[in-house]
Structures are given as structure tokens and as C-alpha cells.
Structure 1
Amino acid sequence: DDEPPEITYCVVEHTGTLTLQAMTPTLPMPAEEELNKMFLELVDELDLTQANRQAVLALPVNKKWQIYCSRKGNGTLDNGGLRTTDLSGDPEDYINRLKTIASSPFPEEDEEVSNQMRQAEALKTALRTQPHSFVLRFIELDGLNALLEVLETMNAEAANSNLHTSVIGCLKALMNNSNGRAHVLAHPTAINTISQSLATENIKTKISVLEILGAVCLVPGGHRKVLEAMLHFQQYHSERTRFQCIINNLDKNFGIYKDNLSLKTAIMSFINAVLNYGPGQVTLEFRLHLRYELLMLGIQPIIEKLRRYENETLDRHLDFFEMVRNEDEKELARKFEKEHVDTKSASAMFDLLRRKLSHTAAYPHLLSLLEHCLLLPLDYGSHPQHWLLFDRIVQQIVLQSESNETGLIRNPDVAPIEINVKEIVHLLAKEEELVAARKKAEELERENSDMSTRLAKKEQELDLRTQEKVR
């Protein structure tokens, strides 16, 4: 059957998919040519993916007319005084209400709180269902900054309320539009501000934020923004390491089974996105680098605890995490011609390095590194800065690569210490060449001196022989 599937409801949602509810038109259908022209204008407003656009344009004329009437009919849904299906709705009204929410203290009256939530929900619905031109106008009027301002000005009570969830929902709806998504990603602080919402105690808000961050990992240029956002959140929330909040929430019991399950599933989905998209799609070293960070925070025993939920969806995310981990560890072991590398054992890892480097020019440098480590003060308490410095430098040596397009050195992770590894290695190589040249010159000088000595000796012998002959 080549006929496109039945359409149930007219709404643009998530990845640009379109479903429509068949309505009985109350107006006479125009001529086919006129209808096709009207329908094409409607489709242009919907920001559909190319596949869905083609499918909708291929519908029979009677269904096109049903869809057209469903979109252009007079909407009457009223949320907080804003009509969410009226195509003539002005984005400026929504933005003004957002500014009022941002500039006002969080209300004490439940009715006023509900009113603010209705206004945010109305905007969320409008961003999802209104024409593409509505979203463009919302962007032009600086609607994104109005949403971010609401997030920035929330006090603790507002941050833990459902209003917070609704505002994050508005940002999700905006990012479901291609222009909206591009606008958010181009904003210098939007993803960082969104990440701050992980500090809330509201489970639904946490889940929505994780869904946004996980989706951004899949967008070109988005993965690095997510890593920057996690580093920003570490500083914002005064945490020891990035991902600490993520792992803590993965382990924490929030009391309600459904909330626990939903949040932990969202976290594992986010973790898998961070590990396996962006540079993680192609680079073993990058996946190992990020996974080591999560393992140091204790994710493995938590995963074993999560198996007790016996939930199919959660188990799929756990299985994927462990499957990719096992494959990566096997690939690492093959580099050392081993079946397995015990990365939990310092002595096992050192023994591998020692065997690999023992008969190479690198081995003296390994010994020198260890000898100098012994000279460091060992009592650091809770602030082992020197060891952290070593760790960060080695991480950059492992991760930095040259961009094929620009020739610039780039680090796929956020680098707290900016160093150019290639340039330093090049300078060291020049230094080695200089040392080698000096050594060669010294050898040549010694050979020349030996030759001069031998020549002088020969001249003396010749003089003696000549004198003997003359006598």
C-alpha cells in the first residue's frame, strides 16, 4: 500500500514528525490548483523534515483540505489568557509575560502560580504548534533571552516548582524547530544556563534538562557545548568534579519508584550520548578518557544496583554502556597484545608500560618521570594539585589532534590548561636534533684531533728516517 499512513493530529513535534487529526471541513473545498497553492504555503510554515514534507505533499486533495482546515480553523483554547491555536497570536505578548515573570518575586498565592504556569504552558504549546513564522518572530524579538532570564532569576522555591519545568519545556519546544535549535546553539550562554537547572529538586525538570543536553550531543558542534556546560555546572554548583551531580543523582533514591526509574533512565541515556557522540563516534581514546572519569566517580557499582529495577528500557541503556565499554577495553588490550588490561591495578598498568618501553629510547624518560614523582611532597590532604596537573597534561597529550580542515590543533574535550602539544613536541624534536648535531660535531672534532695527532707522529717518523738516510 503506497498511500501515506493515516494522520491523527496536526502538530509539529520532536524531530520534525507531523501527525494530524482528520476533521470534517465545514467550508467548501476550492479548486485543486488553488488548494495545492494554499496547502504548499501551509507546509512551508511547518518546518518539516524533507521526508515528512514529501509525504504530506503527496496526500490526496481531500486530506489536504482536512489538514488545511484543521490548521486554519479558529482555535479557542485559552491558557492564561493566550490563545494557543490562533495563528494571529503575537509572540510579543508571550515575551512580555515572560519578562513580567522574571521581574516579579515568586508569588505566594497558588492561583498566581497556576496563572504563571498556564502562561508558560501556552507558550510551549504555541512554539510546538504555531507556524514557522511564529518561531522566527519569537527569535527576532529576543524570546530566547526572555526565557533564559526567567531561569536566571528563579529563587529556590521557583526552581523547585512546576513553573521551572514549564519554562524548560518552552526551551525544548523552541529547540524542536530547526531555526530555534540553531539560535539556542549559537547563543553564548544558553546551554550553560539550561545546565544550571540540574540543581533543582524537581525530577521532571531534571529529566527535561538531561533530554535537552543529550539531544545537543547529537548536533554538530553541540557535544563540546555540553562538555562546557558540565564544567560550568561544576563551578556553579561548587562540585569537586564535573559529572558529580549526574552520578550522585544516578545513585540517589528519590523515594518514588516511577520518579527514580524515569530519572535514572534519562541519566543513562545522557551518559551514553556523551560517550558515543561527538569525538566519541570515531575516537577510542576519547571514549576511554570520558569513561575513566565516570568510573572514578563510581558509576560501575551503581550500574550493578540499577539492574535490580529489572526495567527493559533502563536495562537497554545499561547494556549499551557495558557493551561499548567491553569492546573498547578489548581494543585497548590488543594494543599491548593482551586479552585484558586491568585498569584498576596500578602495578598491572605499570608492568605493561615497562614491558612495552623497556628496550626503547622512551624508557629512560619513564624512569626519570617516576624518580621526579618520588621527589614530590606526598602529603596533599584533599588538594593534590600537582598530581591533578600531571593528569590534565597527559590527558591533553592523548586527546589533542590536528583538524583536517583548518590545520589548527584542537582538543575534543574542554581543556582547563591550554597547551599546544604539537608545538611543544616539535620544539623538543628540534632540541633533540640540536643535541644530536652537537654530539656529531664533538665526535668529528675528536676524530680531527686524533687525525692531527697521527699525522704529526707520521711526520716525525718521516723526519727521523730522512735524517738517518743523510748520515
Structure 2
Amino acid sequence: MDRHQSRLHHRTQGSAAGAPYPTSASLRSCGESKMQRRKGPPNPLQPGGREVPGEKRPKFLDKFASIKIPGSKKERPPLPNLKTAFASGDCSSETMENFSKPMSENELLELFEKMMEDMNLNEDKKAPLREKDLSIKKEMVMQYINTASKTGSLKRNRQISPQEFIRELKMGSADERLFTCLESLRVSLTSNPVSWVESFGHEGLGLLLDILEKLVTSKIQEKIIKKNQHKVIQCLKALMNTQYGLERIMSEERSLSLLALAIDPVHPGMMTDVLKLLSAVCIVGEESIIEEVLEALTSAGEERKIDRFSSVVEGLRHNSVQLQVACMQLINALVTSPDDLDFRLHIRNEFMRCGLKEILPNLKCIKNDGLDIQLKVFDEHKEEDMIEFSHRLEDIRAELDEAYDVYNMVWSTVKETRAEKYFISILQHLLLIRNDYFIRQQYFKLIDECVSQIVLHKDGMDPDFTYRKRLDLDLSQFVDICIDQAKVEEYEEKASEFSKKFEKEFTDHQETQAQLQKKEAKINELQAELQAFKSQVNYHLSGVNLGI
């Protein structure tokens, strides 16, 4: 597949909910399928059926990582010392009053565009709406404002403004008060229009990251600390469900590092949310974002003095299927996104060495559709990468068919590196092969087979480089058997040639015998005719003599 099709660079899109991540078709389209990567929204806005304003905003990240943030049907918990205030939105009472007055076409279209932005519609959904008549657009804007007012998003006694949340976060609240504030903020980020989210995000994102940094670096591991940490993650997830929020978080240098530090298998719910966020970032961002995510995971691993992928692999051992699915999502996002084959093989093999190889058989025994999809994607991409890697040998054989060219190419790659001495040692050992008609060929055949199995390993995993013992293999008997087999094969080949020659000679002989029999029969026939002719001649001569 074309890997560039597999990557998702459609950064101008808005939101679409419901596309599962990652399906086998979407991922390697990662270019199949690094994309293609995403199918369109399953429930597009129909021309005759407008999206009802005031309903929950479609989730932006659902398009990329099946991140479903359930809405809260409960009343938002009261925020201590926070006054309810009117949110800074465009749908104000003044707007409703002015709307009843005559309005120019440009003013109406401006309100219409703002309405679609607040509804978090992507360009695919906006396009058919822009084609509608002006009267329908006016009706839709009126319905949006009216419905928003009825659902309470415009009621002064229920709406908390972004500035109120920002002031509360700046106060440095802790424990239960912070938890209550974050829960209310999560609900507001989920249910309010994009304009509200943007108003909060300009300054609020930095405050959330400050709180998260304080919590993840805290040496006190109390239950309320982890609860608040999870609430911050949920707020970030709600913020990232808009294009604006996703781009803002990706632009913050410390956001990925803090998310990586929040990966903790001891808290599966929080870890699941973190892994889904990182997966979405890997898929939506440019390819350079993969390196940033890997750098964040590396830094987190170094701080904890563990391998950078250990926590992710450890999450696969947890009995939470949701966490296992999230772990495989991130693994697939990291392994399938890079365009470079060597980079993909390197990342996959590093996960394998961290324990993924031993865990995969157990995961395949678990009956779960989401997990089955992720495992299928992983296997498909591994097979495709190995096929692509194997094709390199064909390309090498086609382009480098002279021994001198191959040697120069290999030498240029190992010269003045730590691999140089091993390459020279290999060549020196090859010189020790005896110059025997049968032995030399079998030695090189055996070495070629060994190198092929090491370099083109069938399971796509590097050898165990941690094995430090000398490979003590007694191949003398095996070589003798190969030599004997080679001799037998040569004798059998000669016998086959002789047999073919004998069959040909025997066939020719049989054909000659058949032709000879035909000739003899012809001769006998001619002799009989000659004898008959002589008899007739003698008879006529006898009659003539009697007449005389």
C-alpha cells in the first residue's frame, strides 16, 4: 500500500464521531495503511434533516481513536466560591434581539458560519449546508439560538464562564475542591460550543498542564492525587475533542512529556485515557510528532529507570480489556505511522523485546471485537513490512550482481564503525574454507542459508542480542552429510543423464528394427513377385518351343 495515503494529514477537518480506530483498512491504507486512514462519519448531516442545535457536540477525537467521552446526565456539582456567570458566547440576548430586525445577507451568512463553527462541524458537513437557500439558513440560525437558549447554554443562572474556571484554577485549589472544579470543567468542555472551549483554552490549557505537572511529579501518592490527575487528563481529552484543542495541545512542548509520565498500569482507567490521547496525536499529527511522542516515552522511562515501552507492554498484562485495546492502539499508531521501513521494524522489534512477543498469544485468546481489530492490524502490518523487507533482496540482486560492487557497498556501510572488525573477521573465516570441489560449495551454501535466516527472520523480530555465550555448534557431521548428499546428487544426475541416453538409443534401436522388418517384408514381397514373373516367362517360352 501507499504509506503516504495511510497517514492522516487532513488537519483542516473539524469533527466527526463514530469512526473506529484503527481498522485494518484505515491503517494501511498506515498506506495501505500509515492511512484511506479514516472513513467518513457514519451519520452525515442530511440535507433535509438539520442537526438539532443544543445536542452534545460531536467529538473530534472519536474520528481517530474511538475516544468516547460519555456526557454526564447528572447536575454539575456546585463549585465552591464560584459565582455562576453568563458565558462569553456569540449567542447572547443582544444577538437574539438584533436578529428580529432586518439583517443583510452578509450578516446572516456570518452568523451561519459562526453557528457551524460552534456546532464543531467539519468541512464535509459544512459544504452541503452552505448550498441551502438563504431562508433555510436563517431558519437554522434562529433554531440554533432558540434551542441553545432552551437547553440552558444561554441562561445566566446556569452557565459558568471560562474566566470563572480560569480564576478558580489560578487559586491553586487542592484535594476535593480541585476535584469538584475539574469535574465541572470537564462537563463544560464537553457540552459547550467550540467558541466557549476556545475562550477557555487560550489561558486554561497552560493552567491544566501546570496542575498536571505538579500532580505527576508529586512524591505523595494519595488517592485524591491520582483522582485529580485523572480528572485533568479527562479535561484535556474533552479539550482535544475539538480541532482547536488538539492543535493547541500538540503545540505545547511539555504536554506529551506530562502525558507520558501519567502512564501508570496501577491506574488502568487513567492510563487508558492517556494512551488514547497519545494514539490520536500520533495519527493526526505530522510524522515528526511520532519522534516527539517517542522522546516523551523515552524521558519518562529514563526517569523511572525502565525501558521506555515497559509500561505500555505491562498494560497488556492487565485484566482490563479497555486498557489492552488502548495499549494496542498506541503500539499500532507508533509502528504503522512512520514512512521509513527500517524505523517501523525498529519500533516493532523494540516492543517485541519488551515482552510483547510472549503476550500476543494470550491476547489472541481474549474474545473482544476491539482487541481483535487491533491484533489483526498489528499482524497485517508486520507481514507487509516483512514482504517489503524481503523484496529488498530481489532489488539488491537485480542492481548489484557483481561481487566487487557488493563488497564495496558493504564495506562503505561498516567502514570505521564498530561493525568493521566483525565484517573483516567474517571474510577471514571464509578464507579458511578448504579448496575442495565438493566441500567449498557446501560450506558457502550452508553459510548463505544461515545468514538468510538471521537477516530475514520469519517472525519479523531481531535475534536475541542479549545472548552473550559463544555459539558452539558442531557442524562437521552436518557438513559431511551435505558433502555425501552432494556426491549422491551428482552421481544421480550422471545416472539420470546415462539413463536418458540409454532410453534414446533404445528407442532409436527399436525404430531401426521396425524399419528393418518393413524392409524385409518388402524384399520378400518383391522376391515373390519376381518369382511369379519368372514363372510366367518360363511358361510362355515353353509354349513357343512346342509350337515350333
Corresponding residue for residue 164 of structure 2: 93
Counterpart of 1:121 (choices 183, 191, 195) is 183
Mark the CA change 1:301 to 1:77 in structure 2 (over 3 Å): closer, same or farther.
farther
1:52 lines up with 2:125 in the alignment: yes
Name the SS of the counterpart of 2:212 in structure 1.
Answer: helix
Which residue of the partner structure matches residue 153 of structure 1? Answer: 214
1:311 CA drift (Å) = 1.3
| Residue in 2 that maps onto 1:181 | 246
Distance 1:37 1:229 in 2: 42
1:369 aligned to 422, 427, 437, which one?
A: 422
Change (3 A) 1:159 1:272: farther
Quote the Cα distance in structure 1 between the aligned partners of 2:236 and 2:230.
Answer: 10
**What does residue 264 of structure 1 align with?**
324
- Give the counterpart of 1:67 among 144, 159, 174: 144
Residues 103-134 of structure 1 deviation map (CA, whole Å, 9 limit, x = unaligned):
53x3xxxxxx3x54342122123223334333
- Residue in 2 aligned with 1:438? none
Shift of 1:56: 4.7
Q: Secondary structure at the match of 2:56?
A: strand
- What is the CA distance between 1:51 and its match in structure 2? 1.7
| SS of 1:336 mapped into structure 2 | helix
Q: How far off its partner does 1:325 sit? A: 0.5
Match of 2:15 in 1: none
Tell me the number of residue pairs that the alignment of Structure 1 and Structure 2 aligns.
Answer: 323
Q: Counterpart of 2:310?
A: 244
Can you give the 5+ residue segments of structure 1 that lack an aligned partner in the other structure? 19-26, 107-112, 254-259, 339-354, 374-471
Q: Whose Rg is larger?
A: 2
User: 2:178 and 2:250 mapped to 1: Cα distance?
Assistant: 27
The alpha carbon displacement at 1:245 in A equals 0.7
Distance, in Å, in 2 between the alignment partners of 1:50 and 1:245 is 38
Cα drift, residue 212 of structure 1? 0.7
Q: Structure 1, residues 269-293: CA drift from partner, whole Å, max 9, x if none?
A: 111111111xx2x221111111111
Contact 2:279 2:333 in 1 (8 A): yes
One-letter code of the match for 2:210? E
Tell me which residue corresponds to 1:418: none
User: 8 Å contact 2:249–2:255 — kept in the other structure?
Assistant: yes
The residue type equivalent to 2:122 in the other structure is: T
How has the CA–CA distance of structure 1 residues 130 and 332 changed in structure 2, closer, same or farther, with 3 Å as cutoff?
same
Task: Answer yes or no: is 1:308 the counterpart of 2:365.
Answer: yes
Aligned pair in 2 of structure 1 residues 56, 150: CA closer, same or farther (>3 Å)? Answer: farther
Whole-angstrom distance in 2 between the partners of 1:98 and 1:76: 22
RCO comparison, higher one (Cα < 8 Å, 6+): 2
Q: Where do 5+ consecutive residues of structure 2 fail to align? A: 1-44, 64-95, 396-401, 427-548
Pairing partner for 1:167 from 221, 232, 249 = 232
Alpha-carbon shift at residue 318 of structure 1 (Å): 0.2
Number of the residue aligned with 1:441: none
Counterpart of 1:143 in structure 2 is: 204
The alpha-carbon distance between structure 1 residues 194 and 159, as it changes in their structure 2 partners (threshold 3 A), is farther
Matches within 5 A, 1:391-410: none
Distance 2:111 2:391 in 1: 62
CA contact (8 A) 1:16 1:48 kept: no
Distance, in Å, in 2 between the alignment partners of 1:310 and 1:171 is: 31
Deviation at 1:37, TM superposition (A): 5.4
Match of 1:180, as an amino acid? Answer: G
Tell me the amino acid that sits aligned with residue 270 of structure 1: L
Change in Cα spacing, 1:16 to 1:356, as seen in structure 2 (3 Å) is same
Q: CA deviation at 1:298?
A: 2.1
* In 1, Cα distance between equivalents of 2:406 and 2:62: 60
What is the alpha-carbon distance in structure 1 between the residues aligned to residue 250 and residue 420 of structure 2? Answer: 46
Aligned to 2:114: 41
In the alignment, is residue 276 of structure 1 matched against residue 347 of structure 2? no
Instruction: Measure, in 2, the Cα distance between the counterparts of 1:42 and 1:269.
Output: 34
- Which residue is 2:57 aligned to? 12
Change (3 A) 1:82 1:202: farther
Q: Give the Cα–Cα distance (whole angstroms) in 2 for the partners of residues 286 and 63 of structure 1.
A: 50
Q: 1:330 maps to which residue?
A: 387
CA distance in 1, matches of 2:340, 2:326: 24
**Displacement of 1:357:** 9.2
Q: How far off is 1:296 after superposition?
A: 1.1
TM-score (normalised: structure 2) = 0.52
Given that 1:265 and 1:313 are in contact with CA atoms closer than 8 Å, whether structure 2 keeps it comes out as yes
Distance in 1, Cα, partners of 2:324 & 2:384? 24
- 1:94–1:123 Cα contact (<8 Å) kept: yes
Cα pair 1:128 1:173 within 8 Å, conserved: yes
Alignment of 1:397-436 (within 5 A): none
Q: Given the superposition, is the C-alpha separation of residues 4 and 299 from structure 1 closer, same or farther in structure 2, using an over 3 Å criterion? A: farther
Report the CA distance between 1:207 and its aligned residue.
Answer: 0.8
Q: 1:159: how far off?
A: 6.7
| RMSD, aligned α-carbons | 3.7
How far is 1:94 from its partner? Answer: 0.8
Deviation at 1:53, TM superposition (A): 2.5
Task: Tell me how far apart the structure 2 counterparts of residues 181 and 2 of structure 1 sit (CA, whole Å).
Answer: 27
8 Å contact from structure 1 (residues 124, 170) kept in 2:
yes
Counterpart secondary structure, 2:237? helix
| TM-score of the superposed pair, with normalisation by structure 1 | 0.60
Match of 1:468 in 2: none
CA distance in 2, matches of 1:302, 1:294: 11
1:294 aligns with 2:348: no
Matches within 5 A, 1:101-112: 102=172, 104=174, 106=175
Q: Distance in 1 between matches of 2:168 and 2:404?
A: 66
Distance 1:284 1:5 in 2: 46
Equivalents in 2 of 1:11, 1:51: separation in Å?
A: 19
Deviation per CA, 1:65-114, whole angstroms, max 9, x where unpaired? Answer: 33222224462799xx994xx3xx432211232234x453x3xxxxxx3x
**Which residue matches 2:407?**
360
